[in-house]
Amino acid sequence: MFTSIRGQHMTSPPPPPPPPHAIGINRLTSRFSAHLSPFFSLQRLLLKASHLKHLLPALALGFALFVAAPITANAQTAVTIDVSTLGGTNTDNSGTPAESQWRYNAASKRLLLETASGNYTLTGTNADLRVEIDNTATGASVTLNAVSITSTTTIALRAYRSSTVTLVGANSLVGYSGISMSAGVTLTITSATGGSLVAEGTGATGDAGVYLDGSAGTLRISGDAEVSAVATNATGGTGIHVGGAAGNSGTIEVGANAKLAVTSTDDGITALGALNLIVAGELTVEGADSGLLANEHVGITGSGSASFKGNDGVAAFADFVISDCAVSVENGTSMIIPTSTPIRMNDAAKLTLINSSAVTETIAFVSTNVASTLQWRLTGDVTTGDTLTDATINVTVAANGTGTIDRAAPTPVTWSGLSANGTSGSVTTTQLTLTFDVDPTTLTADDITVTNATKGVLSGGPGPTRTLNISNITVANGANVTVAITNPAGFTITPTSRTVAVYVAASPLTFTHNAAFDIPASTLGRAIVNINVANGVSGGTPPYTFSAAGLPAGISISSAGVISGAPTVAGAAGTATITVTDNAGASQSITIAFGAIAIAPLASPTTSIPALGPVGLVLLALMLGGLAGWRRRQIS
């Protein structure tokens, strides 16, 4: 869920400091009195005017000392303040004007550091104190040396002007807000000795471990300082609050060897306006609600690492830009990065998404390097249906999954080998082994196409070898299948395809008789109709060879199984044996029948009588009649 942006800083403002001219008058009076004290006070000189002529040499000397004394309004002489000594009595160091000036007000429990470019060291423990880097103390340097300061009613440290805090040992500042900074202030917290600071805010909504009030403030952690900004109030408060009102911008910088840890019972960091995070070191942010809650632009730059964790990892209501930095975002039961605009990343950025919820989440990304030669690289439990060379892609993070999105040149991979298991004719191939010179970590079965077989599960890795299951081989034993690969995410594989011979175990050789294989009755010398018995063969190991025994003379079978020829000897019906032998030497036989072979009948002579016309018929009648008469005369 989204959390509403917090209100303005609720801590009451401090009483205004005395005007600069009043401070100047007080210090001038003190300095004047201090320099004339060895001679006489001005009042006594006036009362004893009658003796003035005797005192002129002394007055001249005193005035000369006053004029020659250094001006202390910008004194930089270091001063050490043991805060454990500050309690029920007003005190200051105005009596030592050469030191950086400070005042303590017992009524308001305030320690004011007042000198521009002043140099202060705070030590000790105080359970009811507010320290202020005053309006007059621009450029002040404050060393916290094993200090523990708690304010029970307000802020532990308020910086009205840009200044530097140096850490020695372990330090803590606890108040409604641990640290508060005025608009435009740059507060640098540094250490050269591994010093640490806990800035803890115990106040409710509107308070924070560190509060950047107003706009254009900068919190800078440098050196090897380790700073923790903590909000512990269960009803609100943030680890770091940026901006006193909507639209107020702010910057947080973490140097190369520095560490900044932000934790909160609500939001880790709340930004009412634009937020710039410059991280060369280590930034960790965790909030019970959101790791980072931002109303406007968020930019993360630098060569370091930044992590955000919360129920919502980063709730960004505007653009979220990562440049160079390595960033990780982890959610709870809500969303990783609920945002309506794509996350913008340059070529050197890296984002790790940790989805601790049971729901997948899809996030849009856009490259800020328009002319880049790099492409998106996805590793772990993140996927996309887009082309990795597209400027904008949509990435889905698996439920309870972790994945990384960055940009890289495709890694060249040589596909060096493809082999098949199995034994020719006896054990069918079920697996293909693919070998590469580099582990193509993102390769999946979806990137692979197999021709003349059905692909199955791809297994193997990490390492340069993968095993692909295949089935339903459609080519003969010893013939090739082809395997092709589409470049997986982040890799360019060459060659793009390879072939390999596969093996198919032979089934038992069978030879089944068919009535069509029998030779019908035939006639001597006349060719029979060809008969192909190969259709009755199955199994075994092709090719097949056929032979026959007992066929009538003149009839034979080819090696391919075709019976043909013309009988040369007449005879009775009978049977013959046909045998098939496969390439592995197995053989099977069938018996076929052949019909009787008859001799062809002799042809009968015939005389044709020509057709008679009318004249012929007359002549035939006359001839038959004369013949009949001749016959009667012979009888008589």
Q: Model confidence over 180-212: pLDDT tens digits? A: 999 999 999 999 999 999 999 998 877 999 999
607-625 average pLDDT score: 63
Which of 383-387, 451-455, 589-593 has the weakest average pLDDT?
A: 383-387
Question: Looking at residue 610, what is its pLDDT?
Answer: 58
Residue 47 pLDDT > 70:
no
Cβ neighbours of residue 31 closer than 8 Å, sequence gap 6 or more: 66, 69, 72, 97
Residue 512 pLDDT > 80:
yes
Same topology between domain 411-501 and domain 510-598: yes
Tokens matching residue 80: 């050490």
pLDDT digit string, tens, across residues 374-421:
999 999 999 999 989 899 999 999 999 999 999 999 999 999 999 999
Residue 601 pLDDT > 90:
no
Residue 620 pLDDT > 90:
no
For residue 606, count CB atoms less than 10 angstroms from its CB and return exposed for 0-12, middle for 13-18, buried for 19 or more.
exposed
Q: Strands 208-212, 179-181: parallel, antiparallel or unpaired by DSSP?
A: parallel
Question: Looking at residue 424, what is its pLDDT?
Answer: 87
Per-residue 3-state assignment (H helix, E strand, C coil) for 320-343: EEEECCEEEEECCCCCCCCCCCCE
Question: Looking at residue 634, what is its pLDDT?
Answer: 62
621 pLDDT tier (thresholds 50, 70, 90): low
Q: What is the pTM of this model?
A: 0.64
Please give the C-alpha separations between residue 540 and each of 83, 312, 562, in angstroms, as whole numbers: 100, 66, 19
Which of 276-285, 476-485, 538-547 has the weakest average pLDDT?
A: 538-547
516-521 average pLDDT score: 96
627 pLDDT tier (thresholds 50, 70, 90): low
Say how many residues make up the chain.
636
pLDDT digit string, tens, across residues 311-336:
999 999 899 999 999 999 999 999 99
Residue 457 pLDDT > 50:
yes
Task: Give the whole-angstrom CA distance, residue 210 versus residue 242.
Answer: 9
Of residues 7 and 340, more confidence is placed in 340
Q: What are phi and psi of 356, to 5 degrees?
A: -95, 5
478 pLDDT tier (thresholds 50, 70, 90): very high
Of residues 517 and 68, more confidence is placed in 517
Token pair 């945002």: residue: 339
Q: Which CATH class is domain 510-598?
A: mainly beta
Structural contact between residues 541 and 477, judged by C-beta atoms closer than 8 angstroms: yes
* Highest mean pLDDT: which range of 29-33, 212-216, 505-509, 606-610: 212-216
Mean pLDDT of all residues belonging to the chain? 86
Residue 26 pLDDT > 90:
no
Tell me the residue type at 610.
Answer: P
328-347 average pLDDT score: 94
CATH number of 411-501: 2.60.40.1220
Of residues 31 and 555, more confidence is placed in 555
Cβ neighbours of residue 345 closer than 8 Å, sequence gap 6 or more: 321, 322, 323, 351, 365, 366, 367, 368, 405, 406, 407
Which of 64-73, 122-131, 158-167 has the weakest average pLDDT?
A: 64-73
442-471 average pLDDT score: 96
Q: Peptide bond before 495: cis, by omega within 30 degrees of 0?
A: yes
Going across the sheet that includes 465-471, the strands are 454-459, 465-471, 431-436, 411-420, 491-494
- For residue 423, the 8-state DSSP code is B
Q: What are phi and psi of 77, to 5 degrees?
A: -65, 130
Q: Using N-to-C axis directions, what is the helix angle for 52-68 and 20-36, rounded to 10°?
A: 130
Question: Looking at residue 319, what is its pLDDT?
Answer: 92
pLDDT digit string, tens, across residues 272-314:
999 999 999 999 999 999 999 999 999 999 999 999 999 999 9
615-621 average pLDDT score: 65
> What is the percent of the chain where pLDDT is above 90?
74
18 pLDDT tier (thresholds 50, 70, 90): very low
- For residue 553, the 8-state DSSP code is T
Tokens matching residue 497: 């395809």
31 pLDDT tier (thresholds 50, 70, 90): very low
Tokens matching residue 6: 């917090």
Per-residue 3-state assignment (H helix, E strand, C coil) for 489-531: CCEEEECCEEEEECCCCCCCCEECCCHHHCECCEECCCCCCCE
Question: Looking at residue 65, what is its pLDDT?
Answer: 33
3-state SS class at 585: coil
Structural contact between residues 331 and 307, judged by C-beta atoms closer than 8 angstroms: no
3-state SS class at 377: strand
> What is the percent of the chain where pLDDT is above 70?
83
Task: Give the whole-angstrom CA distance, residue 94 versus residue 115.
Answer: 11
DSSP string of 228-292, one letter each residue: EEEE--TT--EEEEE-SSTT--EEEEE-TT-EEEEEESS-SEEESS-EEEEESSEEEEEESSEEE
Of residues 426 and 231, more confidence is placed in 231
Task: Give the whole-angstrom CA distance, residue 436 versus residue 458.
Answer: 14
Which has the closest alpha carbon to 124: 100, 102, 150, 149? 149
Structural contact between residues 251 and 214, judged by C-beta atoms closer than 8 angstroms: no
Tokens matching residue 493: 């594989």
Cβ neighbours of residue 90 closer than 8 Å, sequence gap 6 or more: 103, 104, 105, 106, 107
What are the respective helix, strand and coil percentages of the chain, to the nearest 5? 10, 40, 45
Residue 426 pLDDT > 50:
yes
Question: Looking at residue 618, what is its pLDDT?
Answer: 61
Question: Looking at residue 430, what is its pLDDT?
Answer: 96
Tokens matching residue 301: 């730059």
Tell me the residue type at 308.
Answer: F
Q: Give domain limits for the chain.
A: 18-69, 76-310, 411-501, 510-598
